[in-house]
Every structure is written in C-alpha cells, then in structure tokens.
Amino acid sequence: MPGVTHRLRLAGTTLITALAVLAAILTASPAQAAAAKYVALGDSYSSGVGTREYLADDGCYRSRHAYPYKAAAEIGATLSFQACSGAKTADVLSKQLGTLAADTDLVTISIGGNDAGFSSVITQCAKPWPYTCTKEINAANAFIRDTLPGRLNNVYDQIRAKAPNARVVVVGYPRLFNGETCNALARISAGEQSSLNATADLLATTTKARASAHGFSFVDPRDPFEGHQVCDDSEWVNGLSNPIVESYHPNRNGQTAYTGLVKPLLV
C-alpha cells in the first residue's frame, strides 16, 4: 500500500519537524533585555575625586572607583559619565546634559556644594589660629537658604525636560567631621567642625526638599558615614591629603558605601 506508506512517512516527518521546533523554543535562551541607559551628572563627589586613580587626565577626575561607574557595572547599565570635579549648577546646565534623552532610564546627580563654596570655606577653616571661618560659614549658610533652591530647581527642571522618562536620584553629601583634630596642618577646631557639619545638614535638607518637589529620590549619606568621618579609625572621607585635590572627598571605601546607597534606587 504505497499511498498509505507515503502518508505515514509524511506524517512522521511532520511530527519530527514539529518536535524539533518545540525543542528549539524550549531550549532557546530568553531574549536579553536592553541595557538601561544611565547618565551620571554632578561634581567631584560623583566623579570620584578622592579615590586616587582616574580614567583620563582631563581635569574632571572621573574614576572607575566612583559610585556611578561601580553601580553601572553592577546593574549592567550603559553609563554616560558626565560628572566633573569642580562643577557647579551652571556647569551641569551648560556642559553635562547633552546625553540626556527620552530613552534615558536612569540619572544620578550630586550638585550644590561648589555653588555654596564649601571647599573654600573648609580651606579657610583649616588655616591656623588666629584665622577663623565664621564669616565664610555664615555666608555659605545664607547662600544655601536663599539662592541655592532656585539654582537646584533650574537644574532639576532641565533634567526632567530632557529625560522625561528617567528615574532620577539626587545624591547628597556627608558630614565630614567627628570633632577630633588629627592633622597638624589642618587644625579645624571642634567648634568649626560642628559648624561645618551644621552647614552640611542645611545643604542636605535644602537639596532633599528640592529633589522631593520634583519627584526625585534623595540619597542621604549623613547617618551611614557616621563613624567613618575624617579622623575616625575607618575613614570613608580623606582628611588633608597630598595632592590637596584629594582632601575632604570620599575615598574608595566611601565610594563603595555610596554605591550601596545609590544602587537600590536604580533597579
């Protein structure tokens, strides 16, 4: 019965083909999701100053030890690393927003400390007696209260306009001091340290309020860095350092701590 035999062979071939297709479907690797597009904005606390190893000699001090670089690697995101040492809000607006787009998924930013002149204030405080820094601290506090909110609003507005679908995480600054003096070349008094920490608190609450008003998350490192400040046994922040640019910035342990704080908000 050649006709029957032919039909059986055809049916068998069809069955084998169907089974092969099914097996291919079942054993195929799932499609890989596209990597998240992550843009890291901001100043030296985001670029990685303090970690002593940098990706390029371009003045921005971007480091593979910085939290944006580490977090992007850990979550498998594609990083556009725009943060740059010394950046103020105006620099973010003029130089750092170019890679933001509608398909940007993640944005982090630390900004505001340089606008308030925080590094210059610390430099003044570190001068030996009879120099004081009360005037400089008061001026920084007035700027943070009266001027910085408007500048932050402008930056955050532009981020949202250019990256309307992104998850935005604003990253704050720690309190730097524990009240001890352990460096003879930068004898910031206990009272000055307390005042500088109070300025850090004012900067944090001001920044958090503006971030929250824009629907952005805020990472507050103040409590996590307690016990790891300048002069603590396990420092996450450099004291006076050589070269001086490394001073009063998170070291590699500090950036690892930042990564642990920021990463959960990116996934």
Measured CA to CA in angstroms, residue 133 lies from 121, 160, 220 at distances of 7, 37, 26
Distance of CA 125 to the CA centre of its chain: 27
- Nearest CA among 201, 47, 57 for reference residue 118: 201
Dihedral, 69, 70, 76, 80 alpha carbons, nearest 10: -10
Would you call 44 a catalytic residue per the annotation? Answer: yes
Catalytic residue among 6, 29, 44, 241: 44
Catalytic residue among 46, 47, 228, 249: 249
- HEC readout, 209-226: HHHHHCCCEEECCHHHHC
Would you call 195 a catalytic residue per the annotation? Answer: no
Contact of 181 with 187, CB cutoff 8 Å = yes
Catalytic residues: 44, 249
